[in-house]
Structure 1
Amino acid sequence: MRGNIEMAEKKYRVIQWATGTVGKTALKYFIENPVIELVGVYVTNPEKIGKDAGELVDLPLTGVVATNDEEQLFAMGADCVLFAGLVQDLDVYCRFLRSGTNVISSAGPFNPTDRYRDQFDRIEEACREGRASYHGCGIHPGFSGDLLPLTLTRLMSRIDRIEVSEIVDKLRNPMVYIEMMGFGRDPDELLANPSRSPEAPYAFQGSMNMIIEGLGKKMERLTTRLEVAAATKDIPYPNGVIRKGTVAGQHYEWTAWVDGAPLVVYHFYWTMGDDVEPRWDNGDSKYRIVIKGDPPLECHLMGSKEADGRHPFLGLQWTGLVGCTAVPQVCDAEPGVLTHLDFGVVQPRGLVRQ
């Protein structure tokens, strides 16, 4: 009984690093969750420096002030830092880890593979030195493309293929990736020189491996394909206009082959609304897992309907939350790199409250 009381009373001192969409979701979670003590917030926007953490997410004042002073945050001796930057920063990770602060990152790296062995070697060394742990996670990689389908395989008798689709209407759900991913470019130019990094499929390869190796197999090769859709009329959005005839839809397809056949396929369908050709007609934004075999299975992960009757895309918010809910497990784990397989079933704390 005493152990249960101590677990319930234990608090984790956390730093939130970056406050974009993912970071704000995490910041709100940390402020409101009774098992978390927010001790620091790192920002890069000069307009946010000096503001109370509560101001940044429309909550009451917390007494924690946002800063861009990295040294101040490194010196705090926090239990954990949740990194929500757009790109990974191994120097920051390793400095925290060497100081004994655990690190959770939504920017990766995620699951160890040979391609990123050097990155994970650096992280592992820092974990050993500081006796701390590292966990890379998000909604995809980090949940919808690995943990969720692997969990669903428990409901199968035979598996022929697993297909995971990320379906996002970026017109209804504006985000910085519209410009970064080359929407508005000439279709032929984008096909010849995609805006998405050629390294991207390999960042997801670890998730594919988690499924495949969990089923007792080995990946033989990874192949990629890209098709685009063009705008059928000018499409205004908050930062500009996607002109008629330019790229208004992208479908990336990455396939992991096992025993000479496709076993795990990732689809990314991104469109700027419905005025595109060809139309892929995937419905509202969601993650869709289809397992072909016996019995066939289909699972949709999406936000609840909003006032207009449509489902919003919550991928960025979920990316923050899947890291937040792992804080106790990461902090209480043995030192080293942690994947979902090291956690068992995560048991979030502090979610049920008045």
Structure 2
Amino acid sequence: MSRKTYRVIQWATGVVGKTALRHFIENPAFELAGVLVTHPQKIGLDAGDIVGLPKTGVLATDDVEQIISLQADCVLFAPIVTNVDQICRLLRSGKNVASVAGPFSPQHHAEHFARIEAACREGNSSYHACGIHPGFSGDILPLTLTRLMNRVDHIQIYEFIDKLRNPMIYTEVMGFGRDPDALLAKPSRSPEAPFAFRQSMEMVAQGLGKTIEKVTTQLEVATATEDIPYSLGIGLPVSGTIRKGTVAGQHYEWTAWVDDKPLITYHFYWTMGEHVAPRWDIDSRYQVVIDGDPPIEVRLMSKPDSDGVRPFLGLPWTGLLGATALPALCEARPGVVTHLDLGVVQPVGLVR
């Protein structure tokens, strides 16, 4: 694979998409074929200008028909909200698609995956859902670590994000600033969310020779101890304020049960800075803790910035996990391809 060049399309250029786009421009294993954008101000820009690199000669467009008509080997599909119709059109046109927006779980979205499989057959193409979580920290990483174990009792995966230092558009969508009792009674996070992560749980359980019996969920919240102004993006002006006493922290906990015991637990700790009660850890990272013989703990985090604070790299990592999987996906059999199907992915063009 290292001698082959893959013609690639980048679909959407948010934080995830721009990270992948930069990789495609700089990596000699790829030839950029096209860029689909959704922001009007990006239409007509050179792909290099979008990511601060020299011009490439490839101009961004919002014309879906133009993108689908391009001759390309693969697509990194990275919209904020997935679109199965668009994925299927790309697959039918003969392009392999890695989607960081899902759909992720064939068990719980069978109708979507039936359509995707049919599109793969028609286009002789492959589909792969990927990302940092689901897609790496909650499945590939812990499953790899179990090779260091004599016995596994309980696997716990943690995602810590300080959303004040790492602003995202999801701040308002997730219900920060809502009344605590109202959020607990009706969480802002989609009830579909556990299904996306259950794919990762099932991959780990399958790798350990087990079957998940049920998945349970819990939610606790932390409240602001003072008013907290926030932005929806780095460098953007203040977008709103989390008022004192409203939700400023959320801890989702999803547990997969096997043999009537918890085997895999995912923890998501999202906070809006330090001024919350109860006070949770805000050192942004992923963390794997495996109880058993011998017990293991691994932390996946960025190196700290000059101010000593670690930025959260979950979104850039998502783009890179999709981008580096594309050569292997292009060489895979047609159809839906999981991490277990891909095996140990060998990224190409990284040493340059």
- 1:168 has 2:161 as partner: yes
Describe the SS at the equivalent of 2:40: coil
Q: Secondary structure at the match of 1:8?
A: coil
Separation in 2 of the partners of 1:214 and 1:10? 32
Alignment of 1:237-276 (within 5 A): 237-238=230-231, 239-276=239-276
Q: Report the counterpart of residue 141 of structure 1 in structure 2.
A: 134
Superposition pairs of residues 297-308 of structure 1, within 5 angstroms: 297-308=296-307
One-letter amino acid of the counterpart of residue 102, structure 2: G
Alpha-carbon shift at residue 213 of structure 1 (Å): 1.2
Specify the SS of the correspondent of 1:178.
helix
Identity of aligned residues (%): 67
Would you say how many aligned residue pairs link Structure 1 and Structure 2? 345
Is the 2:162–2:282 Cα contact (8 Å) retained in structure 1?
Answer: no
Deviation at 1:298?
0.3
Aligned to 1:230: 223
Where do 1:325-336 residues align within 5 Å?
Answer: 325-336=324-335
> What per-residue deviation string (whole Å, max 9, x for no partner) do you get for residues 155-188 of structure 1?
0011110000110000000010111101011111
- Equivalent in 183, 186, 190 of residue 190 of structure 1: 183
Counterpart of 1:143, as a letter, is: F
What is the distance in 2 between the residues matched to 1:111 and 1:184? 31
User: Per-residue deviation at 1:111?
Assistant: 4.2
> Matched residues in 2 for 1:144 and 1:76: separation?
34
* Aligned-pair CA distance for 1:120: 0.9
Task: Give me the TM-score of the superposition, normalised by structure 2.
Answer: 0.97
> Match for residue 57 of structure 1?
51
- In structure 2, distance between residues paired with 1:150 and 1:300: 15
Whether contact under 8 Å (1:251, 1:267) holds in the other structure is yes
Q: CA deviation at 1:112?
A: 2.6
In structure 2, C-alpha distance between the alignment counterparts of 1:349 and 1:166, rounded to whole Å: 28
Structure 1 counterpart of 2:292: 293
Separation in structure 1 between the aligned mates of residue 106 and residue 111 of structure 2, nearest angstrom:
10
State how far apart, in whole Å, the 1-side matches of 2:198 and 2:53 are. 39
Q: What residue ranges of structure 1 are gaps of 5+ in the alignment?
A: 1-6
Determine the structure 2 residue equivalent to 1:91: 85
Moved over 2 A (4+): none
1:232-291 Cα offsets, whole Å, 9 max, x none, are 0011112111111010000000000000010000000000001100112x3510000000
**1:77 Cα deviation from its structure 2 partner:** 2.1
CA contact (8 A) 1:110 1:142 kept: no
Deviations 1:28-54 (A, max 9, x none): 111101010001000111110000001
* Structure-1 separation of matches of 2:202 and 2:153: 16
Q: Of 56, 64, 75, which residue of structure 2 is paired with 1:81?
A: 75
Q: Residues 118-152 of structure 1, C-alpha deviation per residue, up to 9 Å, x if partnerless?
A: 11111111101110000000000000001100100
Contact 2:271–2:282 (CA under 8 A) maintained in structure 1: no
The answer as to whether partners of 1:111 and 1:339 remain within 8 angstroms in 2 is no
What runs of 5+ residues in structure 2 fail to find an aligned partner?
232-238
C-alpha distance in 2, partners of 1:324/1:160? 34
| 8 Å contact kept, 1:83–1:104 | yes
- Report Cα offsets for 1:10-30 as digits up to 9, x if no partner: 100000000001011011111
Counterpart of 1:34 in structure 2: which amino acid?
A: P
Give 1:116's aligned residue: 109
Task: Summarize the Cα distance change of 1:180–1:283 in structure 2 as closer, same or farther, 3 Å threshold.
Answer: closer
What is the alpha-carbon distance in structure 2 between the residues aligned to residue 297 and residue 265 of structure 1? 15
Name the SS for the 2:2 alignment partner: helix
> Take 2:148 and 2:264, find their aligned partners in 1: how far apart are those partners?
17
- Cross-structure match for 2:20: 26
